[in-house]
Chains A and B, each alone.
Chain A
Amino acid sequence: MIKILKYSFFDLMRSRWSYVYFAFYLALGFVLLFLNNDVNKAVITLMNIIIVLTPLIGTIFGVMYYYNSKEFTELLLAQPIKRSTIFTGQYLGISISLTLSLILGLGIPFLLYGLFMSSAIFEFTLLLVVGMLLNFIFVALAFNIALSNENKIKGFGYAILMWLFLAVIYDGIFLISLVMFNEYPLDKFALFTTMLNPIDLSRILILLKLDISALLGYTGAVFKKFFGTDLGFFLSMIVMLLWVIFPVWRIRAKLKKKDF
């Protein structure tokens, strides 16, 4: 598996898009620090971008890589290697190269700006960890969609829809349901539905660590009570990990029955 991982990784590392992605984060980091002039504030702006962008890039890279390397995957499948090894290797290759672009792209400007001397180091690290988890989650989800759809266009369509749903539409439905049922005690419900969406979960996780949860009102207080504690933080991280594990497990299950 390490061999496959290595080759997928180097294949991606040499593609133009990895550099574009890296350069984008690099530029973003510098611009945000220049404009905000404050690491703490830059982290908040960055959060809003990372939480929407990493899932999108992960989804697109995942689907694109799967369809583009289809024939090559067939070549690998004819070699004495287990199916699950091939796909797990490719999956890790993409996720790790994307994560590397993210960490280096943002890490360099923040380090140069004096991250280690700022109080935001914990928040910044959390941001990178969340970005990394989002990469792993969405590449896995994208692989699931691509494996289930032979048709490239359909696969792309579903993948973008999934991203749109989790990044935008889910929040809309969530808000509407809160407004419609506002006579009922909804904090448990809100907490639960937040857990079901990795993007929402990441957002809340970071917002609460940034200590601006007062903006969230009563629900915010409930969230704070939950996520603010070690147990809440721990539970959310577990849910994020489940969001990685479950799609990866489904990839492996799907592979057992798939024809190439």
Chain B
Amino acid sequence: MIEITSLNKRFGKLTVLDGLDLTIDSGGIFAILGPNGSGKTTLIKSILGMVIPDKGEIKIEGNSVLRKWKYRNEINYLPQIANFPANLSVNELINMVKNLRPKQAFEKVLIERFDLAPFLDKKLGNLSGGTKQKVNLVLTFMFESNLIILDEPTTGLDPISLIQLKEIIHEEKDKGKTILITTHIMSFVEEIADEIVFLLDGEIYFKGSSNDLKQRTGQVDLEHAIAKLISKDL
């Protein structure tokens, strides 16, 4: 369980998170949505300890995580932009990340699923954007962790890999994992998310299922429901 209480973060004059309160129960897929610049990535990075909040508290399984680092062993994170050292090969990168975490890795299955075998000895600098994203996904899912955070996981993926990704996400959910996803692709959200967390102006504006959201906004599809939420004419 993740408990976030009155989280505040400013970047200069810009207040990104403004007293945000959020509780995420264990198990399930949570889509974190919001317009550009609404603080989705800042929220995720605060949980990961990459952004240091000005005020507030973040607890995972009852323990405060602010200014700690060992708890990250229980989190798998997929960063938004996959940009790796150009001089390393795919294999070396995977081994390096394996080396950095005191945990067993299951990368072989994933390499097969994403058809990465022919690229293992290629330098990361020579890979296409989509292939880099697949490597990124392998790095994220090769460990068993209770919390999985995916920042724009669909970027650059071809349809086959996208199907694989959805399957993997479902499998992880069935194992009882908590999965946080940010994305702008509403069909993806509708397909996989159990619950939607909608951020606006640095606060949680809506939290509930996609059906709740459609009912509340009186729209038939999620895209328009979200658009209506953003325009705030409720």
Which chain A residues have a beta carbon within 8 Å of chain B's beta carbons?
Answer: 3, 7, 11, 14-15, 69-72, 74-83, 256-260
Contacts and interface: CB of A to CB of B under 8 A. Distances in A.
Nearest to A78: B77
B82 interface: yes
Given A15-B87, A71-B82, A74-B50, A80 B101 contact: yes
Given A3-B100, A71-B81, A77 B87 contact: no
A77 B48 contact: yes
B100 A259 contact: no
A238 B199 CA distance: 54
A77 B72 CA distance: 9
Given A71-B81, A79-B72, A14 B87 contact: yes
B85 A11 contact: yes
A256 B97 CA distance: 23
Interface in B101-147: 101-102, 139
B69 A257 contact: no
Which of A80, A256, A258 has the largest number of chain B CB atoms within 10 A? A80
A80 B50 contact: no
A76 B100 contact: yes
Interface string B21-65: 000000000000000000000000100111110000000000000
B73 interface: yes
A101 to B, nearest CB: 16
B45 A260 contact: yes
B79 A78 contact: yes
B15 interface: no
23 contacts: A7-B85, A7-B96, A11-B85, A11-B87, A14-B87, A72-B83, A72-B84, A75-B79, A75-B97, A77-B48, A77-B49, A77-B50, A78-B50, A78-B77, A79-B72, A80-B70, A80-B71, A80-B100, A81-B69, A81-B72, A259-B45, A259-B51, A260-B50
B84 A71 contact: yes
A80 B69 contact: yes
Q: Range of interface residues on chain B?
A: 20 to 34
Contacts of B99: 3
Contacts of A256: 52
A72 B51 CA distance: 16
Nearest to B67: A256
Contacts of A75: 79, 84, 97, 139
B204 interface: no
Nearest to A69: B85
A126 B21 CA distance: 60
Which of A14, A77, A256 has the largest number of chain B CB atoms within 10 A? A77
Nearest to B46: A259
Contacts of B85: 7, 11, 69, 72
A215 to B, nearest CB: 45
B84 A81 contact: no
B186 interface: no
Interface in B75-98: 75, 77, 79, 81-85, 87-88, 96-97
Contacts of B69: 80-83
Nearest to A65: B85
Contacts of B73: 80
B222 to A, nearest CB: 29
Interface string B167-209: 0000000000000000000000000000000000000000000
Contacts of A77: 48-50
B100 A71 contact: no
Which of A3, A69, A78 has the largest number of chain B CB atoms within 10 A? A78
Nearest to A12: B87
A78 B85 CA distance: 16
A90 to B, nearest CB: 11
B162 to A, nearest CB: 22
A122 to B, nearest CB: 38
Contacts of A81: 69, 72, 100
A259 B12 CA distance: 12
A80 B74 CA distance: 8
Nearest to B84: A72
A162 to B, nearest CB: 24
